Structure 1
Amino acid sequence: MTSTSRAGRPKASSRETLAEAACELFLERGYDATSVADITQRAGVSRSSFFNYFSSKSDVLWSGLDARIDDVGAALDVLERNADASSVRAVLVDALRGFAPDPLALALRNRTAMGLDEELTRDTALRLARLASIVAAAASASGVAVIRADILGASHAAAVLSSLRVWAEQGAGYSAPETVLSDALQNLDDLRWR
């Protein structure tokens, strides 16, 4: 049985409705000129409903990728000492599998029209640092020296975020994000895990 929110919308669709409303408004008014109140009004849900799904306006764009980064962290924790280039790259590629066009992809493709250049630069750096730290921790846990682990983390994180940007800019019909990432990771073949 599907439960409903106060506004009468099924919970399963409220997140998507809010994200769609936010993206429409970002395109119409720009990111900075759009408030959470504007988003909830357009979506027809309460402010508290917004915060049930998102911690901030920016989170509307990033929550899908953030959840995938969480999954990467959990998967790499399981590998522990068995982490190597092949297994880490498989986890990263798998994290992008099935990544459908979402608010982040729309924002990356329309960053200037949405007034998101600065926001995306700043927030991309946060995700880059977070993912780099996760990969570096996996490398360290497998016995890789600290500096090499940091370099591996930074390069693999850059490949993931750059691949998402290129995929979004090319348009979803061009290729799958995991394919773009697999190709990008080949640029790291000379960067030995150990």
Structure 2
Amino acid sequence: MARKNKVKKVIKQFSDFSKEEQWLQSMLDEGWILKSYDSEDVDDCQYVFEPVKSENQKNIIYKIDFRDLNKKGEFEEYRSIFEDAGWTLLSKNSWYSKHIFYTTSTNPQRDIFSDQESYRERERRRMSSSLINIIISILMFAVLIVLYIIYDRSAFLGVGIMTLFFSIKCMIDYYRHRKVYKSFLTREVE
């Protein structure tokens, strides 16, 4: 039983929240419960798992929301609303945009959203965040290229190229979430 004291850290990136939820459930099925995560909404996420200690923990259901909460009071109200509905928030603070919740409800259909519009809004918020990152990184790229031309310093060019790659990564992320967003629109039509 040496496994009881181990912690498992996994770095992974998802562009689909439902696939991420399914992966978290599969980790739970393998005997690992999510204890915390560190997430920058455009970088890889590091998940920290501990071994499941009781049968009750195997009933956990994970769900994810994406929302920017700029004020501490907003974050506390957000947490309180979900706690009143039986969900526990794993986000460490209001700076996180991706919020992972869990519940020990035995209802397998249990969800944090009551309608398809809420899912679409989550994807819309994620797409908006990606667009903002794209615009900022393209502007930074342009400024860095101008600085490279003016001062002929290769550091500006190097950072500019890294910024360009970041903007491409954000564009890919945007289109992936747009695809998920459109799938929610298609479900509504059916």
Q: Report TM bin, short chain.
A: 0.3 to 0.5
Based on CA coordinates, which of the two structures has the bigger radius of gyration? 2
| TM-score (normalised: structure 2) | 0.33
TM normalised by structure 1 equals 0.33
Q: Higher helix fraction: Structure 1 or Structure 2? A: 1
In terms of fraction of residues, the more strand-rich structure is 2
